[in-house]
Amino acid sequence: MPEKDESANVSGLRERLRAARSVFVLTGAGVSAESGVPTFRGGGQTAVWKGMPFEVISSAEMVGRDLALVWEWFDYRRGVLRTCRPNPAHESLARWQTRLPQFTLATQNVDGLHAEAGSRGVLELHGNAWRARCLDCGNREDVREKDAGVRPPVCRACGGLMRPDVVLFGEMLPEDVWVEAAERAAAADVCLVVGTSAIVHPAAGLPVAAKRAGAFLVEVNPEATPLSDFCDLTLRGAAGEVLPRLDF
Ligand code: BV8
Ligand code: ZN
């Protein structure tokens, strides 16, 4: 797309955001790519760990079969995340929240970088890798407060075994978070989809619901996705470069 149109689109969208009553943003691994967080599907490959595709190791079935291995996988993920800081894309979204009457940020990411950038009330559709949840009483604790040598960690409320507080494949999303996300998506007049391959459901259904409810749908992604043809505007670029240009 010629540069002129691109900048016209960007300034047009900036005006639309400035005038928006309600904005809904859905993010995926791509928004954290410039922070050094590996994506799951880059260049057509699916992330594999110890020979297992991530959909296998990150599955409810694996928690039942080998909880220790699931902890090893998330200990590895946290090891990578420990060196990652929010990038300009996270920072822009945190700023937008302070300038809009109704702004909702829903993420598929479990890295906690949106909150670290200052975003409040982030809807963590797939949970958070820094939290553990008790299999018996459901008590939640910050993994950084637990003895890293004890795996699986033990619940300080009831002594039960704990699991990563993330939504694994085959598991339902947290009801309250999902209902709020679906409501806000359907009420948005502008919906941005940033850095997601839009393959994993039901999260990928949110922008579709927003569009069906009348939202102006925008995709920010260097690559096309199954959502692209459904969008009113696609901005082909890196989130850390495109979002700051949309600051209003
Ligand atoms: C469920 C936490 C109900 C754990 C995750 C309907 C159709 C088909 C399948 C299903 C369906 N409904 C349900 C399913 C099954 C399944 C599913 O969707 N499977 C897929 C693989 C087809 N869904 C589920 O299992 C869900 N639960 O349905 O429960 C139920 C329950 C019981 C019984 C019956 C039904 C639960 C799904 C949640 C799983 N947990 N994460 C963990 O992190 O390990 S999913 C995980 O993978 C992420 O959270 C995220 O959702 C997904 C990865 O996608 P992305 O984030 O988009 O990342 P990806 O790498 O794929 O893409 C990155 C994109 O960024 C690319 O497009 C790239 O071009 C772009 N990019 C790169 N750099 C940049 C960039 N963009 C901008 N800037 C850059 N710099
Ligand atoms: Zn407990």
Give 55-111 as a DSSP string: HHHTBHHHHHH-HHHHHHHHHHHHHHHTT----HHHHHHHHHHHH-SEEEEEE---S
User: Cα separation of 141 and 115, whole Å?
Assistant: 17
Lookup result for tokens 């005006």:
15
Ligand number nearest to the C-alpha of 137 = 2
Question: What's the rounded Cα separation, in Å, for the pair 154 and 132?
Answer: 10
Query: Within the chain, how many helices (H) and strands (E) appear?
Result: 9, 13
* Span 68-87, pLDDT tens digits: 999 999 999 999 999 999 99
| pLDDT higher than 60, residue 127 | yes
Number of the ligand 1 atom closest to the C-alpha atom of 195: 76
Of the pLDDT bands very low, low, confident and very high (cuts 50, 70, 90), residue 4 is low
The band of 97, judged by pLDDT with boundaries at 50, 70 and 90, is very high
134: amino acid identity, one letter: C
Of the bound ligands, which one is closest to the alpha carbon of residue 225?
1
pLDDT in tens, 147-188: 999 999 999 999 999 999 999 999 999 999 999 999 999 999
Residue 45, strand partner residues? 42
pLDDT value for 191: 98
Exposure string of 209-242, with b = 16+ CB inside 10 Å and e = fewer, is bbbeeebbbbbbbeeebebeebbeebbeebbbeb
Q: Is 90 a catalytic residue?
A: no
By three-state DSSP, how is residue 234 classified? strand
Q: How far apart are CA 212 and CA 185, in angstroms?
A: 10
What is the rounded distance in angstroms from the CA atom of residue 181 to the CA atom of residue 108? 12
The reported pTM is 0.96
Q: How many whole angstroms from 100 Cα to the centroid of ligand 1?
A: 28
Ligand 2: distance of its center to the CA of 248 in Å?
A: 46
pLDDT for 42: 61
Mutate which of 50, 169, 193, 246 for ligand 1? The one with the most ligand atoms within 8 Å of its CB, which is 169
